[in-house]
């Protein structure tokens, strides 16, 4: 008789097998979407999102008239958003939903990449780290292209991982998908093209065969050729980013905080990333495992260049001419989540005792989630954006009357008023000479200050609106304010301040008398 010894039941085996299949990406995707949707309609729309509204509510012909001299680098995003806006409108929820969906898709992709490069626990925990990061929520609740760049960067990286896998008998199929993914990333935001530099380092660390290098080089050339044309065409539009800061220690520190999520997360995320790198290297050297035997790159080889290299290259290039801003590297955030997930998985796998393993992982999760609660709450406040245009719109809703005029003290103020067109559209814009659509821009064209008083002659009430970007003592602004007063006499019926600007209401107290 042969004596057999029964193995103790592994309570983690069943969920592990369940998560090893198609269900794994659904967990972080669902959690990311759920977190992103909490309070998504509360924060005010602001200037950048006003550009999205202004552009996507035009015809394609009017939109195309803008790109030769403005916002060419955002053309693909506007074209994607136009049918969405036509179908669902311009409310906060409607505008931001594509970004939330993109972040959810990125969460699913992060989990898949983590599982393929390191294992199921690393994939799942990386996806959960992605869902919990404040920056994930911040850009999921923004009607701009940044969330889409994160999702497309994850897709491009996954396609590269599959293409370089030595077990793949038809790698060209994956490279065929890699080409449009990289091109789409660059068209959504030109800085996203720097992902190919990170992928080059990944290949150097992975040391694939010569044929893989050839396929990658051909694919990269095909993907970046149209991006080079876009970059050349956009050279004349650099004035749009003349406000960008030059590299400094403050800029570098801001970037570190951005990539890790927030100031309080810098230490926990960096520690987890270091643990993850060490754990991944040790695991791969000790047990080649399924990922290594397939030829998939190691997780550090994928995530570390992706997290670091685009920032380094942009900062280096900005020494000559500033082109860097932290949100331009949103496509690098998934890499940090992968490193954090590897660290959590390293802690989880550090001991075979289930109770100790669970306790250690719980402590690490609390250290990752706890410091982000304050930022998660702040992101969802109405005044969390640079301008609280929602409050300004509430003032107009409550106090405006039919026939009221409005004077925007500069074109940027008219641009910001596009955040809530149904509200600000009730007012007669007496200071506008040419509207933004006809002028093929976002600001329109203002009448000279001297022409304002006659336009206000028949107005019994006029709103005057300012914006944070304007110099209150600038000569043009002062002349426009004086022109409004010259159209009086008025009495000031109210002044309302809000984050990013102010509104004043004047009511006529006597007939206008021209001084000409």
Query: What pLDDT does residue 20 have?
Result: 62
Q: What confidence score (pLDDT) does residue 287 get?
A: 63
Q: What is the pLDDT of residue 420?
A: 96
| Digit-coded pLDDT (tens) for 190-237 | 999 999 999 999 999 998 888 889 999 999 999 999 999 999 998 887
C-alpha closest to that of 234 among 190, 202, 204: 190
Would you state the pLDDT for residue 503? 96
Three-point CA angle 151, 45, 252, nearest 5°: 55
432 bridge partner residues = 446
Q: CA 415, CA 51: separation in Å to the nearest integer?
A: 7
pTM, full prediction: 0.92
431-435-438 Cα angle (round to 5): 155
Query: Nearest Cα to 345, choosing from 62, 84, 129?
Result: 129
CA distance linking residue 55 with residue 53, whole number of Å: 6
Low-confidence residues of the chain: pLDDT under 70: 1-20, 287-295, 515-516
What local confidence, expressed as pLDDT, does residue 187 receive? 97
Distances (CA, A) of 426 to 119, 224, 404: 57, 46, 8
**C-alpha radius of gyration, the chain, whole number:** 27
Q: What does the pLDDT read at residue 3? A: 37
Cα–Cα distance list, 73 to 6, 79, 189, 238 (Å): 64, 12, 6, 11
The rounded distance, in Å, linking the Cα atoms of 369 and 410 is 43
Q: What is the DSSP string of 27-55?
A: HHHHHHHHHHHTTTTSSPP-HHHHHHHHH
């Amino acid at each position: 008789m042969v004596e057999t010894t029964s193995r103790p039941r592994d309570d983690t085996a069943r969920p592990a097998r369940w998560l090893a299949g198609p269900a794994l990406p659904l967990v972080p995707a669902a959690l990311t979407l759920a977190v992103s949707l909490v309070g998504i309609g509360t924060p005010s729309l602001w200037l950048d999102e006003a550009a999205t509204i202004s552009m996507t509510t035009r015809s394609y012909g009017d939109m195309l008239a803008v790109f030769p001299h403005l916002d060419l680098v955002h053309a693909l995003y506007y074209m994607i958003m136009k049918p969405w806006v036509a179908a669902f409108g311009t409310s906060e929820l409607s505008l931001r939903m594509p970004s939330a969906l993109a972040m959810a898709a990125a969460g699913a992709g992060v989990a898949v990449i983590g599982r393929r490069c390191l294992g199921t626990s690393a994939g799942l925990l990386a996806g959960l780290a992605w869902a919990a990061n404040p920056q994930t929520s911040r850009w999921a609740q923004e009607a701009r292209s940044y969330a889409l760049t994160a999702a497309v960067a994850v897709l491009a990286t996954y396609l590269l991982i599959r293409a370089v896998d030595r077990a793949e008998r038809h790698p060209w199929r994956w490279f065929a998908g890699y080409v449009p993914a990289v091109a789409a990333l660059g068209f959504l935001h030109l800085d996203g093209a720097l992902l190919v530099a990170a992928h080059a380092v990944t290949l150097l660390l992975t040391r694939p065969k010569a044929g893989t290098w050839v396929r990658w080089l051909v694919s990269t050339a095909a993907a970046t050729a149209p991006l080079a044309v876009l970059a050349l065409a956009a050279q004349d539009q650099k004035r749009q980013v003349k406000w960008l800061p030059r590299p400094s220690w403050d800029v570098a520190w801001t970037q570190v905080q951005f990539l890790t999520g927030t100031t309080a997360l810098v230490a926990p995320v960096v520690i987890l990333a270091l643990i993850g790198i060490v754990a991944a290297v040790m695991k791969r050297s000790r047990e080649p495992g399924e990922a290594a035997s397939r030829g998939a790159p190691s997780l550090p080889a994928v995530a570390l260049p992706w997290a670091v290299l685009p920032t380094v290259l942009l900062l280096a290039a900005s020494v000559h001419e500033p082109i860097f801003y932290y949100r331009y590297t949103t496509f690098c955030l998934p890499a940090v989540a992968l490193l954090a997930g590897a660290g959590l998985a390293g802690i989880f796998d550090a001991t075979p005792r289930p109770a100790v393993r669970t306790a250690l992982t719980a402590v690490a999760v609390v250290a990752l989630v706890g410091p982000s609660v304050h930022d998660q709450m702040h992101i969802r406040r109405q005044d969390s954006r640079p301008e609280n245009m929602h409050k300004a719109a509430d003032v107009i809703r409550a106090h405006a009357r039919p026939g009221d005029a409005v004077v925007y003290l500069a074109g940027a103020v008219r641009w910001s008023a596009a955040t809530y067109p149904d509200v600000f559209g009730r007012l007669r814009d007496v200071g506008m000479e040419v509207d933004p659509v006809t002028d093929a821009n976002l600001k329109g064209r203002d009448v000279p200050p001297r022409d304002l008083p006659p336009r206000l002659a028949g107005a019994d009430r006029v709103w005057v609106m300012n914006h944070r970007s304007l110099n209150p003592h600038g000569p043009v602004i002062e002349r426009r304010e004086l022109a409004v007063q010259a159209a009086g006499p008025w009495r000031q019926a109210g002044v309302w301040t809000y984050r990013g600007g102010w509104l004043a209401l004047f009511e006529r107290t006597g007939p206008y008398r021209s001084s000409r």
